[in-house]
Homo-oligomer: A and B are copies of this chain.
């Protein structure tokens, strides 16, 4: 019933529960993605595939995973649709693949859950069943935004739209550990998303968060506010914001990128001369696409819960599912939740013996 009491001493092979029924392309793509992730020999992990047993058994055969000791099916009879209202869906579909997958984590049979399904339901279900860590009120969704020769963590990408300053401080801690774990940066530079870098510029909330962040520089490498125009210049590794700004930013950037891609493609195909040119320079397009849409970085964890919950795009194809599985397993190996818990304890410690402050000018 209880979650594993000590996340610090993970078993040799971490176990990931995968909601196999979510996503736009259905279970075939999810299982194929898991197979792709497991095909790389270095992977020390087990996967619980949660969903309709007959369907999944058939897919295991197709993907040559039948009998593989690293994969196990856990039956669930229902599926939460992408457009269902999260809270109602969680209540009415207790035997859905998503709810069952989350419960496997709660019961300690898995250390983390991965889903391509309904984001709202996953965030609400994860938060309700796995609970925020002690000392943290609101979990945050972390995502990695690729740039040229650089990547940064954007946190929060949509979990907590009305974040208070203290939540932004927590986001900074969460995002730093995620950058250490996935981007392999020992001291990630943390910036607070704002609209001016001079002292006193920004929204009231962000100015209050800036004051908090300056105060805990032992716990993280806070470099100050960052503006929108700095994001793609490789100046910061973690960009901290509330879930409202982050979600709009992420979706607008994706939408802008898609628009540009299809616009340029149509222009390149508009006549035979341009087509020939595009063929000659196809290597350039491939290089840009590889760098800016990396399969290896799919998956966005909802950080700050007692256990790992990781979401990946509903439209993910098998290569992206495989990337998300590997991100999830890397996160478990790093013991991200344990590292965050330790930081929250240090933060509570630091705040306890509140030194009396002398008023300025006294």
A interface residues with partner B (beta carbon < 8 Å) = 85, 120, 147-148, 158, 161-162, 193-196, 198, 202-204, 206, 227-233, 241-245, 247-260, 262-264, 267-268, 270-271, 273-285, 287-288, 291-292
Contacts and interface: CB of A to CB of B under 8 A. Distances in A.
Copies of this chain in its oligomeric complex: 2
A242 B203 CA distance: 10
Main secondary structure of the interface of A (DSSP, over half): helix
B274 A280 contact: yes
A258 to B, nearest CB: 7
A278 to B, nearest CB: 5
Contacts of A148: 259, 262-263
Contact of A206 (B120, B244, B258, B268): B244
Contacts of A161: 195, 202-203
Nearest to A264: B288
Nearest to A244: B203
A255 B231 contact: yes
A104 to B, nearest CB: 28
Contact of A276 (B196, B198, B253, B280): B280
Contacts of A250: 228
A216 to B, nearest CB: 23
Contacts of A273: 280-281, 283
Contacts of A268: 281, 284
Contacts of A259: 147-148, 232-233
B288 A281 contact: no
Chain A to chain B: the 9 pairs with minimum beta-carbon distance, closest first: A277-B280, A228-B251, A277-B281, A267-B284, A228-B252, A232-B259, A229-B251, A274-B281, A195-B247
A260 B288 contact: yes
Given A161-B202, A203-B162, A248 B277 contact: no
Contacts of A85: 198
A281 B279 CA distance: 10
A103 to B, nearest CB: 26
19 contacts: A120-B196, A206-B244, A228-B249, A228-B250, A228-B253, A228-B255, A229-B254, A233-B255, A245-B248, A249-B252, A260-B288, A264-B284, A267-B288, A268-B281, A268-B284, A274-B280, A275-B281, A276-B281, A280-B280
A252 B231 contact: yes
Contact of A256 (B202, B248, B256, B271): B256
Given A228-B251, A231-B252, A252-B231, A288 B274 contact: no
Contacts of A255: 228-233
Contact of A283 (B204, B227, B274): B274
A255 B256 CA distance: 12
B267 A274 contact: no
Contacts of A158: 195
A123 B255 CA distance: 31
